[in-house]
């Protein structure tokens, strides 16, 4: 079936709509930010106005209460109910509760200070200038009056006076003078929550600051509000300036976050646009590839059919349709029995296909008979293989078919001609054989040849001696076989074989009696020479192993003696004893290799022995530690200290451990891992002994793990891709398991297990066969 690819709609209108939507979003967010900012400014100003109105009202009420107290005090003085001492006590008590007042005085008719609330006057003091302004106003208006602000006192601060007149019988008799220091008034009357947000001060009609709550200067760009301060009047006003100029962190952070989301959305839209372009290009490439593969399938002379795992037809090519006579639409979706199976062979072909779908398919394929839609029978050769997807899972089966009807007819005719030819040649008394000229393949031999040359079967594949025994066109050659007990005369000539290739026609006659003794002596001499060569070879191998074993034993002995003779006081350089012990150990290991070579020339059992796994791990770590130190990799061991003995080949298990540690070290070095570390852990389970080699490298990707045990696959440039396969084969030879997995920190763990139980008879036999 041919795939149909519909044309895709252009995505340009979609991109334009997305761009306009994004622009509208940006404009909307900008307007929203502006409205939020304006609302915040209005809210700040409304709060400032409300708090200033409350503060002005609070200060006015406080000063009104002071005025009422002054009126009551003035009435008592006018009626003569207060003496100077009583005046002073009342004033001091009042000043302790109202610290914004600097002075309270009793002023006479002519403006002299008679009584002072804070001190005793030696003589009256005359008020003059701005200090007398409020008293003058009260004497003229006969009601409480405020004077002009002025500077006075020890600190030369701005003050303002309230004068309450003493009137008796309608005549002015003096006044009570209350002096406010404006900065003290603000300190006492402005609450902390207002002072923490605003710079509160008193300004004159020209805007000049007379007094303030805080010494800190007001911000020139802060929000400000000014309200008239009456009383005391005289152009004074309360002015508050906000310390907070900006809008704070909330709105900028939120604005930045929304801007980040907007940019992310724009980047996402751009990436989607790029992805869609790439996808469109990939679809065009895919369409080209599909068309190309469809053309390849349709151009093939052999039929192709794809089946799912249940045997349902999924796809066929043009040659298959021509072979069966059915259209592709009629074939796709069919299940067994198929309509192109002959009715009389349906059961047999069902059995053949059932075996084929489980993998029981001969390498040379299957020969089947198909029935075309027209009723004509055709002979086909079918090859069926699993259909594996890229992930390694089997999707189904794919089968290729070839029409072999003509080939089969020719083969039948050739078989009949061969039978006639053999009937004629089999009647000869002389031995006749035909061999190829180039490589001596035996093409034909009659029964007489088999009887005469009894060492070769008539239907054998090769006759290696005949091509070298005689030259064509020469005299007959006499030769002996079977150790000289039988002699033959051979005549040869060159002929053209049925396939057109050149061949030798040999006619063989028995002449044994004439040359029996001479052939026997020659055969005996040849056997003697062969025996001598085998003996010499065995002696050479034994001598070589013996000569190598002696110096290795001497090296081990000298190293052991040197260790005993070395002093134990630590005067030797560091590492000397370890190096000598390593020399002795390597000499012993080389001796084991020599002994293995000597044992290799004769049949032997697998080298399984009861071994201590802890010693195997220690030896492997000792061999791998120099390489780890060379590359700066820390190598540690976390053993399971429980005693254990396994029946294994210790050399092979040590090689597995060395290979895994070496791979881990090389991976850490190539990845340039900071603080590289390889840890070997052992664990004794209920039925197994487990070893783990853990590293802190970059780990393995899913693709690497999927192909890790694929032959000739390697992650190293110089790797051959067979080391891990050999390690797994060694572990499986010991009936264990081998695997790998990642870690949460990013490294990987290679592990294998060995069973604790002794190998059974079946496994032992399999091991012997594997060693042999």
Buried b (16+ CB within 10 A) or exposed e, 266-280: beeeeeebeeeeeee
Of 567, 602, 637, the residue at which a domain comes to its end is 602
Instruction: Give dist(CA 188, CA 194) in Å, integer.
Output: 12
Instruction: Give dist(CA 405, CA 378) in Å, integer.
Output: 6
Instruction: Give dist(CA 418, CA 424) in Å, integer.
Output: 10
Of 247, 270, 286, the residue at which a domain comes to its end is 247
Most confident of 306-310, 464-468, 757-761: 306-310
Residue by residue, DSSP assigns 585-624 as HHHHHHHHHHHHHHHHTS------EEE-HHHHHHHHHHHH
Question: Is the model's pLDDT at 235 over the cut of 70?
Answer: yes
If asked whether residues 223 and 344 sit together in one domain, one would say no
Instruction: Give dist(CA 346, CA 340) in Å, integer.
Output: 10
Q: What per-residue confidence (pLDDT) applies to 772?
A: 32
pLDDT digits (tens, 9 = 90+) for 214-234: 777 776 767 788 888 888 888
Strand-pairing partners, residue 652, are none
Would you say residue 263 lies in a domain? no
Where would I find the beta strands (DSSP E) of 95-229? 101-107, 112-116, 125-126, 145-146, 150-152, 157-168, 171-181, 198-203, 209-212, 224-228
Q: What per-residue confidence (pLDDT) applies to 536?
A: 55
Question: Is the model's pLDDT at 469 over the cut of 50?
Answer: no
Q: What per-residue confidence (pLDDT) applies to 600?
A: 39
Instruction: Give dist(CA 325, CA 344) in Å, integer.
Output: 19
If asked whether residues 397 and 527 sit together in one domain, one would say no
Of 511, 533, 561, the residue at which a domain comes to its end is 511
Q: 385 or 752: which carries more pLDDT confidence? A: 752
If asked whether residues 577 and 567 sit together in one domain, one would say yes
Instruction: State mean pLDDT over 29-46.
Output: 78
Both tokens of 769, joined, read 């066969």
Lowest model confidence (mean pLDDT) among 101-115, 172-186, 527-541, 750-764: 527-541
Residue by residue, DSSP assigns 77-117 as HHTT---HHHHHHHHHHHHHH-TTEEEEEEE-TTSEEEEES
Q: What kind and span of H or E run contains 431?
A: strand 431-436
If asked whether residues 188 and 77 sit together in one domain, one would say yes
Instruction: Give dist(CA 171, CA 157) in Å, integer.
Output: 34
Q: What per-residue confidence (pLDDT) applies to 681?
A: 92
Length of the chain: 772
The percentage of the chain sitting over the pLDDT mark of 90, rounded to a whole number, equals 4
SS3 578: helix
Q: Contact at 8 Å (CB) between 384 and 398?
A: yes
Q: 573 or 109: which carries more pLDDT confidence? A: 109
pLDDT digits (tens, 9 = 90+) for 734-761: 889 999 888 887 788 999 999 986 544 4
Q: 300 or 771: which carries more pLDDT confidence? A: 300
Computed over every residue of the chain, the mean pLDDT equals: 77
Q: Contact at 8 Å (CB) between 274 and 258?
A: no
Question: Is the model's pLDDT at 484 over the cut of 70?
Answer: no
Both tokens of 140, joined, read 């003229």
Both tokens of 297, joined, read 């399938």
Would you say residue 382 lies in a domain? yes
If asked whether residues 86 and 167 sit together in one domain, one would say yes
Instruction: Give dist(CA 726, CA 719) in Å, integer.
Output: 13
Both tokens of 94, joined, read 């009042």
| pLDDT class of 603 with cuts at 50, 70, 90 | very low
**Beta strands 634-638 and 677-684, pairing class:** parallel
Would you say residue 256 lies in a domain? no
Domains contained in the chain, number: 5
Q: For residue 261, count other CB atoms closer than 10 A to its CB.
A: 12
Q: What per-residue confidence (pLDDT) applies to 764?
A: 41
Q: Contact at 8 Å (CB) between 381 and 402?
A: yes
Question: Is the model's pLDDT at 488 over the cut of 70?
Answer: yes
| pLDDT class of 537 with cuts at 50, 70, 90 | low
| pLDDT class of 175 with cuts at 50, 70, 90 | very high
Q: Give the residue carrying structure tokens 């059995």.
A: 351
* Domain of 414, in residue numbers: 410-511
Contacts of 20 (CB under 8 A, 6+ apart): none
If asked whether residues 460 and 533 sit together in one domain, one would say no
Q: What per-residue confidence (pLDDT) applies to 164?
A: 92
CATH number at residue 368: 3.30.450.20
pLDDT digits (tens, 9 = 90+) for 121-146: 777 788 888 888 888 988 888 899 99
Instruction: State mean pLDDT over 7-16.
Output: 62
Residue 433 φ/ψ, nearest 5 degrees: -145, 155
Residue by residue, DSSP assigns 466-532 as GGGT--TTS--EEEEETTTTEEEEEEEEEEE-TTS-EEEEEEEEE-TGGGHHHHHHHHHHHHHHHHH
């Amino acid at each position: 079936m041919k795939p149909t690819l519909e044309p895709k709609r252009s995505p340009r209108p979609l991109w334009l709509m997305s761009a306009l939507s994004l622009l509208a979003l940006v404009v909307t967010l900008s307007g929203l930010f502006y409205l939020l900012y304006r609302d915040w400014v209005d809210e700040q100003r409304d709060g400032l106005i409300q708090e200033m109105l409350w503060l002005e009202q609070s200060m006015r009420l406080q000063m009104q209460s002071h005025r009422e107290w002054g009126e009551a005090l003035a009435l008592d003085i006018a009626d003569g109910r207060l003496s100077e001492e009583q005046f002073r006590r009342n004033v001091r008590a009042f000043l302790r509760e109202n610290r914004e007042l600097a002075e309270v005085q009793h002023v006479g008719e002519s403006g002299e200070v008679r009584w002072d609330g804070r001190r005793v006057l030696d003589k009256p003091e005359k008020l003059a200038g701005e200090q007398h302004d409020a008293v003058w106003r009260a004497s003229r208006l006969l009601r409480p009056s405020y004077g002009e602000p002025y500077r006075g006192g020890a600190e030369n601060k701005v003050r303002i006076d309230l004068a309450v007149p003493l009137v008796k019988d309608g005549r002015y008799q003096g006044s009570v003078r209350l002096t406010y220091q404006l900065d003290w008034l603000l300190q006492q009357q402005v609450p902390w929550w207002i002072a923490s947000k605003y710079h509160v001060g008193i300004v004159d009609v020209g805007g000049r600051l007379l007094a303030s709550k805080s010494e800190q200067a007001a911000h020139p760009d802060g929000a400000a509000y000014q309200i008239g301060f009456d009383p005391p009047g005289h152009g004074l006003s309360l002015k508050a300036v906000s310390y907070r100029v900006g809008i704070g962190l909330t709105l900028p952070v939120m604005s930045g976050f929304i801007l980040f989301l907007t940019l992310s959305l724009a980047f996402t839209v751009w990436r989607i646009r790029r992805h869609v372009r790439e996808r469109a290009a990939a679809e065009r490439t895919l369409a080209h590839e599909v068309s190309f593969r469809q053309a390849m399938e349709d151009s093939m002379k052999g039929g192709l059919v794809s089946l799912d795992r249940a045997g349902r037809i999924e796809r066929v090519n043009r040659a298959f349709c021509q072979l069966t006579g059915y259209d592709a639409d009629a074939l796709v979706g069919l299940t067994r029995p198929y309509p192109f199976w002959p009715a009389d062979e349906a059961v047999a072909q069902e059995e053949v296909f059932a075996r084929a779908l489980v993998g029981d398919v001969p390498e040379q394929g299957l020969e089947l008979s198909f029935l075309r839609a027209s009723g004509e029978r055709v002979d086909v050769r079918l090859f069926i293989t699993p259909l594996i997807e890229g992930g390694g899972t089997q999707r189904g089966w794919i089968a290729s078919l070839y029409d072999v009807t003509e080939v089969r007819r020719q083969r039948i005719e050739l078989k009949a001609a061969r039978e006639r030819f053999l009937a004629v040649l089999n009647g000869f008394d002389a031995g006749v054989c035909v061999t190829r000229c180039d490589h001596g393949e035996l093409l034909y031999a009659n029964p007489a040849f088999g009887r005469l040359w009894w060492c070769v079967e008539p239907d054998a594949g090769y006759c290696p001696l005949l091509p070298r025994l005689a030259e064509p066109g020469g005299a007959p050659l006499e030769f002996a076989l079977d150790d000289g007990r039988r002699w033959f005369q051979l005549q040869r000539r060159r002929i053209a074989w049925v396939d057109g290739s050149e061949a030798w026609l040999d006619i063989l006659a028995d002449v044994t009696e004439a040359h029996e003794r001479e052939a026997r002596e020659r055969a005996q001499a040849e056997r003697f020479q062969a025996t001598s060569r085998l003996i010499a070879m065995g002696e050479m191998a034994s001598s070589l192993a013996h000569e190598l074993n002696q110096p290795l034993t001497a090296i081990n002995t000298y190293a052991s003696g040197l260790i005993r003779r070395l002093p134990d006081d630590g005067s030797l350089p560091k590492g000397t004893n370890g190096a000598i012990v390593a020399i002795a150990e390597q000499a012993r290991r080389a001796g084991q290799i020599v002994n293995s070579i000597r044992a290799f020339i004769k049949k032997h059992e697998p080298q399984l022995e009861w071994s201590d796994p802890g010693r195997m791990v220690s030896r492997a770590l000792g061999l791998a530690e120099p390489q780890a130190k060379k590359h700066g990799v820390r190598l540690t061991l976390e053993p399971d200290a429980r005693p254990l003995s396994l029946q294994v080949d210790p050399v092979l298990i040590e090689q597995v451990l060395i290979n895994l540690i070496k791979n881990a070290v090389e991976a850490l070095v190539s990845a340039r891992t900071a603080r590289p570390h390889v840890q070997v852990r052992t664990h004794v389970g209920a039925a197994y002994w487990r070893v783990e080699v853990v590293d802190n490298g970059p780990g393995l990707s899913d693709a690497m793990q999927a192909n890790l045990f694929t032959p000739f696959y390697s992650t190293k440039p110089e790797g051959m891709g067979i080391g891990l396969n050999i390690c797994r084969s060694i572990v499986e030879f010991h009936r264990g398991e081998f695997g790998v997995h990642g870690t949460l920190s990013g490294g990987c763990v290679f592990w294998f297990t060995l069973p604790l139980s002794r190998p059974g008879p079946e496994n032992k036999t399999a091991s012997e066969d594997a060693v042999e």
